[in-house]
Amino acid sequence: MKTFQSFALVFLLFGLFSCQEDELPRSPLLGTWEHRTFDQTHQLWFVESLTFRNDSIMGVEHTVRETETGPTLGYRMISEGWYNLKGNTFQYYYSDALIYFGEGSDSDVLPYAPKEELSAGIVDFFRIPKGDLIFSQDNRKFEFQEECLRANSEGDCTEFPLREYIRIN
């Protein structure tokens, strides 16, 4: 009888710990990704960081650096938003944000500010950005090609630039 109880206990423990798969698949985007652009005019790096926290919520930060991977000099915008990834189709949206509005004369305005100097504002998307997202083979990069903007019924289309994001964690 003791052998039967031991066998039943082992079977129960095996059943509890062997099937711990998530009910829903986790997004391959989870983590932080950066799109980095060097601005010749200011001689600075403008960085858009997307931090995907779960299968639908992301944080967005636009920062400025002196070097591509160096420390942050300041912020241009901070926001929270949602996203949806189905197959290769990626959509996202955010509106409420903390934004740097660049007060002062044009010649002395820095393109960034400390986080505490950002002001509440709204990013006014007039549509939900949507497009194709393609991962690199090693899942360390992805490219996002937003669908073109149709300005009229004749089908004229304004193309958006391809953006590449690099996984940083």
Is residue 14 domain-resident?
A: no
- Total domain count for the chain? 1
What are the tokens at 47? Answer: 């960085």
Report phi then psi at 155, rounded to 5. 90, 10
Confidence at residue 51, expressed as pLDDT on a 0 to 100 scale: 98
Is residue 30 domain-resident?
A: yes
- pTM for the model stands at 0.80
Is residue 7 domain-resident?
A: no
Residues 117-164: pLDDT tens digits? 999 999 988 889 999 999 999 999 999 999 998 777 777 888 999 999
Is residue 13 domain-resident?
A: no
Furthest-apart CA atoms within the chain: distance in Å: 88
Is residue 8 domain-resident?
A: no
Domain span at residue 51 reads 22-167
Confidence at residue 105, expressed as pLDDT on a 0 to 100 scale: 54
CATH, residue 109: 2.40.128
Mean pLDDT along residues 25-49: 93
Residue 159 CB-half CA count within 13 A = 4
Q: What share of the chain is helix, strand, coil (3-state, %, to 5)?
A: 15, 45, 40
pLDDT over threshold 80, residue 3: no
pLDDT over threshold 80, residue 26: no
Q: What does the DSSP assignment read for 97-158?
A: EEE----S-GGG--S-B-GGG-EEEE---SS--EEEEEE-TTSSEEEEEEPPEE-STT--EE
Is residue 130 domain-resident?
A: yes
Confidence at residue 136, expressed as pLDDT on a 0 to 100 scale: 96
Share of the chain above pLDDT 90, in %: 68
Quick check: 73 and 44 in contact, CB under 8 A? yes
What are the tokens at 36? Answer: 């980095």
Confidence at residue 150, expressed as pLDDT on a 0 to 100 scale: 78
- Residue indicated by tokens 């423990």: 13
Mean pLDDT along residues 80-96: 95
Is residue 162 domain-resident?
A: yes
Is residue 88 domain-resident?
A: yes
SS3 12: helix
